[in-house]
């Protein structure tokens, strides 16, 4: 059995969909499993022992019709028995349609259902603490084996021993004491509508330092330097003494290796939170007011993995409104979601450290 799983775009999605490989491989160890992803997301699934091959959807393929056509022909030559289209957008619809696979699986959309042999509507409510993002993916395995849909698989990231050792040395050389708490802060979201206001985030960091006397690292990339530095400048002079601003991952794999040594990751909900969970690092997530918490509060138990959403505190604001409608007012909603509303739950989370 030869299977292609398609999950383009976001890093967190690519990591989350990797659970399908472990589930299939454990039941069908001889199955040949390929993963079609955007090339920049590869680091989160690098060294995954359940994935046999990768098909990279590069910027050239995405933006050049001729290159895309050649890619479609390459996929067809692979002669897949099954294609699971988790992404379910125009490009993956076309890839699936041209694949020639006998079994084609995806989420239900009325305008694309004719492409697939099996489609599934996303569930509205999770049955487990794994979350909807996990459960909705697992149900896509029903046409292969209904037993697989009952499995709960947690995303995992696989670091090499060299990566672990080198990152440990990097932190030690920077003067970080790994026998004391080290907190990675997800200071920025994937966009401004998913980023807790910078002055608010600084107050959250001040509280973490006040409570734990911990060492603080910022998760940012060079092009986000200005925003990260702004948060740093908003922090108190005492907090600044605990921040190792220049210690950050120069690549995604470096970030993962550094995070592996942290006590916890705290900050904006998103890819970094999901990566920390995949490394078994405790997390505290601050959800954007317009993001559906039920979908992405993966494996939360209120202790090792905890989160907070404006809806938790002021549910009346959401009565009769969709998350799409809430997105239009996201900045006004952030204004009524100050650190004072977050700190009580964060304090409870920090007590374990």
The 3-state secondary structure of 261-329 reads CCCEEEEECCHHHHHHHHCCCCEEEECCCCCCHHHHCCCCCCCCEEEECHHHHCHHHHCCCCHHHHHHC
For residue 326, CA distances in Å to 290, 320, 332, 336 come to 5, 11, 10, 13
DSSP symbol at 174: T
DSSP string, 25-94: HHH-TT-EEEEEEEGGGGGGTTT-TT--EEEEE-HHHHH-HHHHHHHHHHHHHT--SEEEESS-SHHHHH
Q: What does each of the 353 residues of the chain score in pLDDT, given as a tens digit? A: 999 999 998 899 999 999 999 999 999 999 999 999 999 999 999 999 999 999 999 999 999 999 999 999 999 999 999 999 999 999 999 999 999 999 999 999 999 999 999 999 999 888 888 989 999 999 999 999 999 988 889 999 999 999 999 999 999 999 999 999 999 999 999 899 999 999 999 999 999 999 999 999 999 988 999 999 999 999 999 999 999 999 999 899 999 999 999 999 999 999 999 999 999 999 999 999 999 888 888 899 989 999 999 999 999 999 988 888 999 999 999 999 999 999 999 999 999 99
| SS3 per-residue string spanning 226-269 | HHHHHHHHHCCHHHHCCECCCCCCCCHHHHHHHHCCCCEEEEEC
Q: Which residues pair with 119 in a beta bridge?
A: 106
Residue 345 corresponds to which tokens in the numbers above? 């739950």
The pLDDT score that the predictor gives to residue 171 is: 98
- Whether 144 and 117 have beta carbons less than 8 Å apart is answered as no
The pLDDT score that the predictor gives to residue 297 is: 87
1-10 core/surface letters (b: 16 or more CB in 10 A; e: else): eebbbbbbbb
The pLDDT score that the predictor gives to residue 125 is: 87
> For the chain, what is the radius of gyration of the CA atoms?
21
68-103 core/surface letters (b: 16 or more CB in 10 A; e: else): beebbeebeebebbbbbbbbbeebbbbbbbebebeb
Count CA within 13 A, CB hemisphere, residue 209: 21
Name the residue among 243, 305, 307, 251 with its Cα closest to residue 279: 305
SS3 for 221?
A: coil
The pLDDT score that the predictor gives to residue 288 is: 96
Domains identified in the chain and CATH numbers: 2-150 (3.40.50.2000), 161-350 (3.40.50.2000)
The pLDDT score that the predictor gives to residue 151 is: 84
Which H helix or E strand runs over 2? Answer: strand 2-6
Please give the Cα distance from 236 to 238 (Å, whole number).
Answer: 5
- Whether 281 and 265 have beta carbons less than 8 Å apart is answered as yes
């Amino acid at each position: 059995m030869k299977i292609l799983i398609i999950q383009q775009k976001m890093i967190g999605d690519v990591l989350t969909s990797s659970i399908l490989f472990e589930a299939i491989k454990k039941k069908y160890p001889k199955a040949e499993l390929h993963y079609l992803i955007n090339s920049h997301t590869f680091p989160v699934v690098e060294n995954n022992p359940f994935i046999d091959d990768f098909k990279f959807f590069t910027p050239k393929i995405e933006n050049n019709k001729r290159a895309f056509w050649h890619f479609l022909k390459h996929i067809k030559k692979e002669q897949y028995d099954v294609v699971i289209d988790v992404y379910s957008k125009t490009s993956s619809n076309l890839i699936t349609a041209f694949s020639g696979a006998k079994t084609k699986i995806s989420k239900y959309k009325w305008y694309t259902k004719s492409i697939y042999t099996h489609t599934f509507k996303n569930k509205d409510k999770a049955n487990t603490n794994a979350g909807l993002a996990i459960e909705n993916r697992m149900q896509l395995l029903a046409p292969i084996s209904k037993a697989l849909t009952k499995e709960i698989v947690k995303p995992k990231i696989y670091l090499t021993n060299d990566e672990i050792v080198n990152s440990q040395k990097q932190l030690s050389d920077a003067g970080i004491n790994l026998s004391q708490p080290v907190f990675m802060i997800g200071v920025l979201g994937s966009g401004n509508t998913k980023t807790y206001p910078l002055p608010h985030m600084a107050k959250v960091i001040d509280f973490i330092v006040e409570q734990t006397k911990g060492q603080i690292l910022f998760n940012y990339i060079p092009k986000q330097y200005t925003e990260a530095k702004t948060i740093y400048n908003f922090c108190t002079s005492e907090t600044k003494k605990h921040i190792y601003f220049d210690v950050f991952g120069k690549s995604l794999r470096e970030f993962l290796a550094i995070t592996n040594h942290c006590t916890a990751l705290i900050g904006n909900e998103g890819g970094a939170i999901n990566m920390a969970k995949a490394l078994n690092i405790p997390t505290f997530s601050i959800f954007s007011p317009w993001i559906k918490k039920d979908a992405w509060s993966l494996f939360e138990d209120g202790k090792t993995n905890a989160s907070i959403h404006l809806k938790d505190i002021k549910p009346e604001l959401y009565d009769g409104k969709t998350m799409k409608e809430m997105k239009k007012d996201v900045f006004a909603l952030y204004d009524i979601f100050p650190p004072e509303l977050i700190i009580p739950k964060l304090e409870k989370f920090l007590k374990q450290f």
